[in-house]
Amino acid sequence: MRSTPKACHAAAGILNDRGIQRALRNDERRWALSPAGGATRARGADEMSDATKDGRPRIPAHIRRRVLVEAGHRCAIPSCRHIIAEVHHIGPWSTTRAHRYDNLIALCLNCHDRADRGEIDRKSLRLYKLNLRFAHDKYSQLEMDILFELYKNGQEVGMPWFAFHLILLKRICDSGFITFEETAIGLSMDNLKTNPDLIKITDKGRLFVEKLGLHEL
């Protein structure tokens, strides 16, 4: 069933004339230009309120800003990148009842509607969000890949890893997402241990992956 734009829209960005005309053509979107809608040109007094017209609490400014900056104030879908960006709930507001950064993504009006219709599904949105995070977050793609692999393997299984390569995982180590367990020395060459040790995901690491929503993929 198609949800109404009110349920998950929080408009942002600069509306050009074409965007305004399009919004006005669609009654469902008129809220976006109303004092309670949240579109950039209509904000002002609206920002003084803590809730939208339908009574839902407004997305906190720092979270909204972070989501928009993450996508460069454009639609997060790489093949679109429209300049009118809104904040969309990946898991719908009706079920999450929360404005969590991990569950929010910047989308244009068109992609937002396509997401509401299910043409762009939730898993796809999470992948688009993930692409943005790889580009902007502090963890490398290698670190994220290893973290997901450890998550899938389970907490007790772990993965062989050489101590002298730990520098590649420094940031997920420092964040407490993985632990390093030394194994007994089996082989050594020039006093360098050549059999691998073990890395394992921690509870904190599992929580991080789950907050990204990637366990649903």
Residues of this chain that bind Zn ion (CB under 5 A)? 75, 77, 80, 82, 108, 111
What's the min distance (Å) between Cβ of 111 and Zn ion? 3
What's the min distance (Å) between Cβ of 179 and Zn ion? 41
**What are 212's two structure tokens?**
């990204």
Closer to Zn ion by Cβ: residue 75 or 104? 75
What single DSSP character describes residue 156? T
Closer to Zn ion by Cβ: residue 76 or 212? 76
Total number of residues shown for the chain: 217
What's the min distance (Å) between Cβ of 121 and Zn ion? 15
Radius of gyration of the chain from Cα atoms? Answer: 22
What's the min distance (Å) between Cβ of 69 and Zn ion? 17
Closer to Zn ion by Cβ: residue 60 or 78? 78
Q: What are phi and psi of 177, to 5 degrees?
A: -85, -25
Helix (H, G, I), strand (E, B) or coil at 164: helix
Closer to Zn ion by Cβ: residue 80 or 159? 80
Residue 95's identity, in one-letter code, is: T
Report helix angle 109-117 to 17-25, nearest 10.
Answer: 30
Closer to Zn ion by Cβ: residue 88 or 200? 88
**What are 83's two structure tokens?**
């300049």
Closer to Zn ion by Cβ: residue 86 or 143? 86
Question: Among 120, 85, 125, which residue's Cα sits nearest to residue 213?
Answer: 125
What's the min distance (Å) between Cβ of 60 and Zn ion? 24
CA-based end-to-end distance of the chain: 22
Consecutive H or E run containing 47: none
What's the min distance (Å) between Cβ of 94 and Zn ion? 22
Maximum C-alpha span of the chain: 75
**How do 178-181 and 159-161 pair as beta strands?**
unpaired
